[in-house]
Chains A and B, each alone.
Chain A
């Protein structure tokens, strides 16, 4: 007989708790109730590595397609993030070449190196600066503007649009205010993109916009614009939070930092930072058929949430998961997801933040310190990272 027991229902966990201190909650859930319906979020939480991986790798049962989220209203489009199969593939592949290692190595990495140099030059040696606000955010915005083909957008514009899109997409309470702001951001982006499209038509370049506009069989213009917006919404906060998280981790583990300065092998520090506090902590999938996960019946139509933050701390996969440890033997984290929606920005992030920024930052400021780790605040349920990082530059 198939077991039709539903997953336990939790009515105590609040969104506020998940936003301020999610890790103890996930630890308890992994041990006691790895498949749990969380009432405040209205989703079935999957907190174990194996279950998260299974869901992401089985798109035939767990669909990304959900046209009725606030995302559609925020982006004024049904975007590839919320599509499956050939449609998703076609839209993703349309801009893939601009995000792939060849172009990154030849074009974006040298440019990033130069931009990073400029932004580091602006930082005052010997003083305390908020590295999160003064470096992590603007450099993420600047390189993204170039990669997308809209270098005329300012850092402030990029950051504002990105936040407006994210806040709108996460507006599950359907409050009017966030949509007013995202509508405004859409107006500004549309205006800028109209000119940018003309420019790349006349002068093609390796940017995502140019590659899509000038393709032999281009996808519809509406989807080109939607793709650019998805990349704006999803391409600033993640590398920003990753950088701040890694720097925090290294400054609070000085022995590891010393070893990296000696070996100059920064790649593992990047991987460990995104494992330790995944910039994207959770994602949703719509259940297309009745299934069983962890011994519980999950009915068709339910929405499950893979909590990659928790998967990355699963004791079955990672030793001392709560510790930032660059030198762990294996690090198969799920921070970039898995399956067809595996993060399209992965290669860029690895080859900019990972391969360039860490080396340059610690070369420029070898005696950088974090005077008071306690004042660093961490926030976020869906997306997470520090919101400040006051360091002394030396």
Chain B
């Protein structure tokens, strides 16, 4: 399956992803700048903040328990489509997912 990351400056990167992985993990594995994932997906760092593309928002679903508290800590603006990418697991239906990256994570 494939995921497309669109950086704040518009740079687009399409990567091959594995079902079951998180979006954060996929980005880090593929060296996508703009996702740090410093706490390894433990919902502790808020450096994996991303915006789910509007067209995919429903399929991905809303924030999990505890996510919004931590998103308050994110460095860039939090929008209704904001998610912690470590909390988005890739399911088959998410093949082709488009993720927008924030200006900065620190």
Chain A interfacial positions (CB closer than 8 Å to B): 53, 56-57, 96-97, 100-102, 267, 271, 330, 332, 336-340, 342, 344, 346-347, 350
Q: Can you report 12 residue pairs joining A to B where beta carbons are below 8 Å apart?
A: A53-B40, A100-B73, A101-B74, A271-B106, A332-B38, A340-B39, A340-B42, A342-B40, A342-B44, A342-B45, A344-B44, A350-B106
Contact of A342 with B73 at beta-carbon distance under 8 Å, contacts A267-B106, A350-B106 already known: no
- Chain A facing B: main interface SS: helix
Q: Is the CB of A57 within 8 A of B106?
A: no
CB-CB contacts of B14-50 with A at 8 A, as 1s and 0s?
Answer: 0000000000000000000100101111101110000
Interface residues of B in 69-93 (CB under 8 A from A): 69-70, 72-75
Bound state CA distance, A200 and B75, in angstroms?
A: 29
Across-interface contacts of A271 in B (CB, < 8 A): 106
Across-interface contacts of B72 in A (CB, < 8 A): 100-102
Q: Is the CB of A339 within 8 A of B42?
A: yes
Q: Which 9 A-B pairs have the closest CB atoms?
A: A342-B39, A57-B40, A338-B40, A342-B44, A101-B73, A340-B42, A100-B73, A339-B40, A102-B72
Q: Is the CB of A338 within 8 A of B73?
A: no
Q: Return the chain A residue nearest B72 by Cβ.
A: A102
Minimum CB–CB distance from B99 to chain A (whole Å) comes to: 19
Across-interface contacts of A57 in B (CB, < 8 A): 40-42
Bound state CA distance, A347 and B70, in angstroms?
A: 12
Across-interface contacts of A332 in B (CB, < 8 A): 36, 38
Bound state CA distance, A96 and B72, in angstroms?
A: 12
Q: Is the CB of A338 within 8 A of B39?
A: yes
Bound state CA distance, A248 and B33, in angstroms?
A: 29
Minimum CB–CB distance from B102 to chain A (whole Å) comes to: 13
Number of interface residues of B (CB under 8 A): 17
Minimum CB–CB distance from A12 to chain B (whole Å) comes to: 33
- Chain B facing A: main interface SS: loop
Bound state CA distance, A382 and B54, in angstroms?
A: 47
A/B pair count, beta carbons within 8 Å = 48
Minimum CB–CB distance from B28 to chain A (whole Å) comes to: 8
Of B33, B38, B73, which one neighbours A102 at CB under 8 angstroms? B73
Across-interface contacts of A330 in B (CB, < 8 A): 33
Minimum CB–CB distance from B57 to chain A (whole Å) comes to: 24
Bound state CA distance, A346 and B44, in angstroms?
A: 10
Across-interface contacts of A338 in B (CB, < 8 A): 38-40, 42
Bound state CA distance, A80 and B74, in angstroms?
A: 24
Q: Return the chain A residue nearest B45 by Cβ.
A: A342
Q: Is the CB of A336 within 8 A of B106?
A: no
Most-contacted residue by chain A among B41, B42, B69 (CB, 10 A): B42
Q: Return the chain A residue nearest B33 by Cβ.
A: A330
Bound state CA distance, A348 and B39, in angstroms?
A: 16
Excluding A53-B40, A101-B46, A346-B38, 20 further A-B contacts by CB distance (< 8 Å) are A57-B42, A97-B69, A100-B69, A100-B73, A101-B74, A102-B73, A267-B106, A332-B36, A336-B38, A336-B45, A338-B39, A338-B40, A338-B42, A339-B42, A339-B44, A340-B42, A342-B39, A342-B42, A342-B45, A350-B106
Minimum CB–CB distance from B53 to chain A (whole Å) comes to: 25
Minimum CB–CB distance from B101 to chain A (whole Å) comes to: 15
Across-interface contacts of A347 in B (CB, < 8 A): 73
Most-contacted residue by chain A among B40, B45, B69, B74 (CB, 10 A): B40
Bound state CA distance, A288 and B39, in angstroms?
A: 21
Across-interface contacts of B44 in A (CB, < 8 A): 339-340, 342, 344
Q: Is the CB of A346 within 8 A of B42?
A: no
Bound state CA distance, A18 and B26, in angstroms?
A: 36
Bound state CA distance, A100 and B74, in angstroms?
A: 9
Q: Is the CB of A346 within 8 A of B75?
A: no
Bound state CA distance, A337 and B46, in angstroms?
A: 14
Q: Return the chain A residue nearest B104 by Cβ.
A: A267
Across-interface contacts of B73 in A (CB, < 8 A): 100-102, 347
Contact of A346 with B40 at beta-carbon distance under 8 Å, contacts A100-B73, A102-B73, A267-B106 already known: no
Across-interface contacts of B69 in A (CB, < 8 A): 96-97, 100
Bound state CA distance, A253 and B15, in angstroms?
A: 38
Bound state CA distance, A271 and B47, in angstroms?
A: 14
Minimum CB–CB distance from A275 to chain B (whole Å) comes to: 12
Bound state CA distance, A102 and B72, in angstroms?
A: 7
Contact of A339 with B39 at beta-carbon distance under 8 Å, contacts A101-B72, A101-B73 already known: yes
Across-interface contacts of B42 in A (CB, < 8 A): 57, 338-340, 342
Minimum CB–CB distance from B23 to chain A (whole Å) comes to: 16
Contact of A101 with B40 at beta-carbon distance under 8 Å, contacts A267-B106, A346-B45, A350-B106 already known: no
